[in-house]
A and B are shown apart, each in its own frame.
Chain A
Amino acid sequence: MPYKLSQMLDRELKKGSAELLILSLVEDQPRHGYDIGNLIEQRSKGRLRFNVASLYPLLYRLERRGWIQGRWVEKSGQRRRRYYRLTAEGKKVLAAQRHSWQEFVEAINRITGIEHA
């Protein structure tokens, strides 16, 4: 993918779906920032990447909205890390966002005519 396009897609995705990505990742278990960033990169096979400068402001914003909650956790033999978990409020938001994202994707698909075989 050309650099320019990748960067553009990156931004668009961040605007539209970054929140959804993060909420999904902490749905099952609390995760720290590095873990979240890593998972996004791995699962998107490197296509999606958040650097520190964009990931953390997002986390803080979600936290401030009350959708996720960060907490310092100390595990033996490790540095303490800030783990983020999904709040009850966040769960509702995640469900709603999933739903509208699904609708959005279906709508796009219908228009662009990409059909599954």
Chain B
Amino acid sequence: MPDWREEVQKRLSRLNLAPAHEAEIVEELAQHLDDVYQRSLRGGATEAEAKRAALQELATDDLLQKEMRRSQTTYKESPVAGGPTNSNFFADLLHDLRYAARLQRKNPGFTIVAVIALALGIGANTAIFSVVNTVLLRPLPYKDPERLVMVWEDASRHGYPRDTPAAANFVDWRDQSQVFEGMAAIADTSFNLTGSGDPERLEGRRVSANMFPLLGVDPQLGRVFTAAEDQPGAQRVVLLSYALWQRRFGGDPAIVGKSLTLNGESYVVVGVMPARFQFPSSDDQAWVPIALTQQEAGNRGRHYLQVLARLKPGVSLVQAQSEMSTIATRLQQQYPEQNAELGAVVQPLHEHLVGDIKPALLVLLGAVGLVLLIACANVANLLLARAAVRQKEIAVRVALGARRWRLIRQFLTESVLLSTLGGLVGLAIAYGGLVVLKTFIPENISQAREISIDLKVLGFTFLVSVLTGLIFGLAPAVQAVRFNQIETLKEGGRNAATGGGGKRLRSLLVTAEVAISLVLLIGAGLLINSFLRLRNVDPGFRADNLLTMKIVLPKPKYEEFERRTAFYTDLIGRVQSLAGVRSVAVTTNLPLYRQGNSISISIEGRPAPPPGQELIVVTRIVSPGYFDTMSIPLLRGRQLSTQDTETTPNVVVISETMARRFWPGEDAVGKRIAAGRVRTPEDWIQVVGVVKDVRQFELNAEPKPQMYLSYRQAGFFEPRDLVVKTDVDPASMAATVRKAVWEIDKDQPVSNIQTMEEILADSIARQRFSMLLLAIFAVVALVLAAVGIYGVMSYSVAQRTREIGIRMALGAQTGAVLKLAVGYGMKLVIAGIVIGLIAAFTLTRVMSTLLFGVTATDPTTFTLISLLLIAVAALASYIPARRATRVNAIIALRYE
């Protein structure tokens, strides 16, 4: 039977119809011709006559051409074949889109793989960007927040470049500076709230009355403090946080004017702050006026304030810094003893609030950017492979007169459609990811709760999607239209994408993928390495089976040293007798809580150090059982004992670092020191023992000199943490221990009930967060890269099936053929690794602040990760190669 399709096609070829439409017409007309042919045969005609009759139907009546053209040119179904005359940008775009959508529906497998790869990349970017957006980019919720600054003391001499100012310095700064609209002081405090319900401990702040106007925040109910209330002796007033108001007072609308009992004193509620107000931190539940007394305001020795200030309009940070430096220099001369080498630093408030997390977030943002690049490379590879399959279609279009730019646009429309789909799915991934992410975000990142996908994030995702589409679409698009038409149209002709250019491009993409994933993996490797080292740091104590809780004795009630001591002694005795308790102790500060006291000491027989070079020692006031409870090993001498009392000579236990630093080459035991200056001989304290160093502040900070004094001998700081070593699960003891506290004082709040292991975990939560995320992204990158290598290798091996078949037929050993195929893949991988190593060498430096115990160019990490990647890559190229060698030579030869 004649090929009617061919006959019809021949006659339609000059019409430049859209291929899909043309195919329909060809089918319909060919059927008609076949019907005519069959009828003629049935009517007794010979085959030749029947064929002639059928073809007569197509008699070149010019009507065919004319009508077809008329009915088609306005149709513009064809997205790519249209000539220059009928190009209309938006109409074309719409048609391109429709065509692209049809194409995707026709290849669901391809579309799904590409969309998943892109969605992973775009989703990760969206999630991390929304964190960056909330934490770094969103302006603080205060009036003109860019003019708000923190002012610190610069005590770099003692290792504190941003130290909390002393009150007297704050007063001088405030009175002498001209660059600020106002300056407010903030001091930590806490309250024991008693009265209705269980006694409760509240974190709060003493603040200058002008802090609220400086921030530009109004209360939700009532008013803020007046200047008169910010004076010593004024009526006691308090502002409540929204959360406290809701939780404790049921959102009582008439709360303003009511009284409540804080630390045993009556305070009048003057207002309630709005829900989103959390300054200086999200823990704060109540604010009272700071009302500095004469004595406080003259103290230059206690550094405990935070100072907020607002720049006058038009004043730059540099100007403010310069003026504050001048004032600080003047104060150094004025108070050479206390203010020696003490500067002043102005820091934008935003930097103060987010400074710590910024490097980690930027590294993560960079990392997800790299993941997206790998996803792009993968999809570009897929598109290249598909472009190779579509060579014929393109050749036909070019032959029909489609311009190349038009074809490129069609390709780009397809890739952008893909990436937009990826973006949509990515948004869903980001949304789900954020829910999970939020649970991992350390609580001390204050804006964590507000992280959400807002318009800015949506805009970002859209932009990234479109850009992604353009990036990964461009290469295949350009590649696809740069080929030899004639070759392609020839049956069996090797087309461009399988030959030189396409192969080069795909190889390049694989090399790039390997390089990028190496950078990511090395980054993650460095962080994991840091984290493991951090976890393996000996904190100096054993955290297992330790229950801790905060018991802060309120001031008027426990003003006297004797009353406090009696309470602690009673408490220790009661808890010690509980079943399941091995030992118990109190301390001023638990390790790794990021706070605590330090004092300067004098050493017997040595001259007082010159100002600015004081001997600063981290000081803990503890009960004698502390070392046993915390399992802090004793190195020399003895521990504190219950025999050391108010009536016996004062004793101190010091850390090995303190012993080494202050008495190098000597035995510290028996030496005498004093806290501050020696006024009477009773001020001397004898060193009776040396214990191992404890990481008091952070695991990743080298221990400073430390000393421990007995709570019965030293009263300048008050113990506030109870720590209990248990034989059973420590958390299960919490209620029993709390009951023991309440047996002594039913109004005494107990808070922060935690196991020591939780405190330990919290102290490295931020590092764990960065490490986990980067590790996840690196694994995604590794998987994507492996898939990419596998894909390219499969394709390349498939192309060479015939060659491999011939080799095998001629007697080549399987091993030799494998070596050939894997060798090709490994060449690309090694190239990628070399490039990646160079890139990583430069890039990982940006993470140096996130690392602990490893350098940014740690050779072990670099080597191990490279080997890992080589192994994965080798496997990814081995599998397709192995398949190729199993091919039957005959089949291989018949392959084409």
A51-B56, A51-B57, A51-B61 known; A56+B25 contact, CB < 8 A: yes
Are B58 and A61 closer than 8 Å at their CB atoms?
no
Are B67 and A57 closer than 8 Å at their CB atoms?
yes
Among B27-35, B83-91, B145-153, B351-359, the stretch in contact with A: B27-35
Are A60 and B32 closer than 8 Å at their CB atoms?
no
Among B68-76, B299-307, B388-396, B854-862, the stretch in contact with A: B68-76
A64 within 8 A of B: yes
A33-B32, A34-B31 known; A60+B61 contact, CB < 8 A: no
Are A34 and B35 closer than 8 Å at their CB atoms?
yes
A82 within 8 A of B: yes
A54-B67, A57-B68, A79-B31 known; A64+B61 contact, CB < 8 A: no
Most chain A CB inside 10 Å of its own CB: which residue of B35, B63, B71, B75: B71
| CA distance in complex: A57, B512 (Å) | 53
Q: Which residues of A contact B68 (CB under 8 A)?
A: 57, 60
B59 within 8 A of A: yes
| CA distance in complex: A64, B74 (Å) | 10
Q: Which of B31-75 touch A at CB < 8 Å? A: 31-33, 35-36, 56-61, 63-64, 66-68, 70-72, 74-75
Q: C-beta contact mask, A55-77 vs B, less than 8 Å → 1, else 0? A: 11110110010000000100000
A81 within 8 A of B: yes
Q: Which residues of B contact A5 (CB under 8 A)?
A: none
Residue of A nearest to B56 (CB): A51
Q: Which residues of A contact B35 (CB under 8 A)?
A: 34
Q: Which residues of A contact B75 (CB under 8 A)?
A: 64
Q: Which residues of A contact B58 (CB under 8 A)?
A: 51-53
| CA distance in complex: A55, B61 (Å) | 12
Are B32 and A54 closer than 8 Å at their CB atoms?
no
Q: Which of A32-64 touch B at CB < 8 Å? A: 33-34, 37, 51-58, 60-61, 64
Residue of A nearest to B39 (CB): A38
| CA distance in complex: A51, B63 (Å) | 11
| CA distance in complex: A82, B29 (Å) | 10
Q: Which residues of A contact B74 (CB under 8 A)?
A: 64
Q: Which residues of B contact A37 (CB under 8 A)?
A: 32
Q: Which residues of B contact A82 (CB under 8 A)?
A: 24, 28
Interface of chain A: mostly helix, strand, loop or mixed: helix
A51-B57, A53-B58, A54-B61 known; A34+B32 contact, CB < 8 A: yes
Q: Which of A68-115 touch B at CB < 8 Å? A: 72, 79, 81-82
| CA distance in complex: A58, B74 (Å) | 15
Q: Which residues of B contact A79 (CB under 8 A)?
A: 31
Q: Which residues of B contact A34 (CB under 8 A)?
A: 31-32, 35-36
A34-B31, A81-B31 known; A53+B71 contact, CB < 8 A: no
Are B67 and A52 closer than 8 Å at their CB atoms?
no
B791 to chain A, nearest CB (A): 36
Q: Which residues of B contact A55 (CB under 8 A)?
A: 32
Are B29 and A56 closer than 8 Å at their CB atoms?
yes
Are A52 and B57 closer than 8 Å at their CB atoms?
yes
Count of A-B residue pairs with CB < 8 Å: 58
| CA distance in complex: A9, B75 (Å) | 31
Are A51 and B71 closer than 8 Å at their CB atoms?
no
| CA distance in complex: A64, B71 (Å) | 7
Interface of chain B: mostly helix, strand, loop or mixed: helix
Residue of B nearest to A56 (CB): B29
A55 to chain B, nearest CB (A): 8
Q: Which residues of B contact A54 (CB under 8 A)?
A: 61, 63-64, 67
8 Å CB contact of B64 from A53, A64, A72: A53
Are B28 and A57 closer than 8 Å at their CB atoms?
no
A16 to chain B, nearest CB (A): 15
| CA distance in complex: A56, B65 (Å) | 11
Q: Which residues of A contact B33 (CB under 8 A)?
A: 52
A59 to chain B, nearest CB (A): 9
A57-B67, A61-B71 known; A51+B25 contact, CB < 8 A: no
A9 to chain B, nearest CB (A): 16
Q: Which residues of A contact B72 (CB under 8 A)?
A: 60
Most chain A CB inside 10 Å of its own CB: which residue of B32, B33, B70, B71: B32
Q: Which residues of B contact A52 (CB under 8 A)?
A: 29, 32-33, 36, 57-58
| CA distance in complex: A72, B23 (Å) | 13
Q: C-beta contact mask, B691-704 vs A, less than 8 Å → 1, else 0? A: 00000000000000
| CA distance in complex: A52, B57 (Å) | 5
| CA distance in complex: A68, B25 (Å) | 16
| CA distance in complex: A58, B68 (Å) | 9
Q: Which residues of A contact B29 (CB under 8 A)?
A: 52, 56
| CA distance in complex: A82, B24 (Å) | 9
Q: C-beta contact mask, B279-294 vs A, less than 8 Å → 1, else 0? A: 0000000000000000
8 Å CB contact of B67 from A33, A51, A61, A72: A61
Q: Which residues of A contact B60 (CB under 8 A)?
A: 53
B336 to chain A, nearest CB (A): 97
Residue of A nearest to B33 (CB): A52
Are A58 and B31 closer than 8 Å at their CB atoms?
no
| CA distance in complex: A57, B33 (Å) | 15
B173 to chain A, nearest CB (A): 82
Residue of A nearest to B71 (CB): A60
Are A58 and B57 closer than 8 Å at their CB atoms?
no
Q: Which residues of B contact A51 (CB under 8 A)?
A: 56-59, 61
Are B28 and A56 closer than 8 Å at their CB atoms?
yes
> Can you show 27 pairs from A to B with CB atoms below 8 A apart?
A34-B35, A37-B32, A51-B58, A52-B33, A52-B36, A53-B59, A53-B60, A53-B64, A54-B61, A54-B67, A55-B32, A56-B25, A56-B29, A56-B32, A57-B63, A57-B64, A57-B70, A57-B71, A58-B67, A60-B68, A64-B71, A64-B74, A72-B24, A79-B31, A81-B28, A81-B31, A82-B28
Which 9 pairs show the lowest CB-CB distances between chains A and B? A57-B67, A53-B64, A52-B57, A60-B71, A51-B57, A34-B35, A34-B32, A53-B61, A82-B28
Q: Which residues of A contact B (CB under 8 A)?
A: 33-34, 37, 51-58, 60-61, 64, 72, 79, 81-82
Q: Which residues of B contact A (CB under 8 A)?
A: 24-25, 28-29, 31-33, 35-36, 56-61, 63-64, 66-68, 70-72, 74-75
A52-B29, A54-B61, A57-B63 given. 19 additional CB < 8 A pairs?
Answer: A33-B28, A33-B32, A34-B31, A34-B32, A52-B33, A53-B58, A53-B63, A53-B64, A54-B63, A54-B67, A56-B25, A56-B28, A57-B71, A58-B67, A60-B72, A61-B71, A64-B71, A81-B28, A81-B31
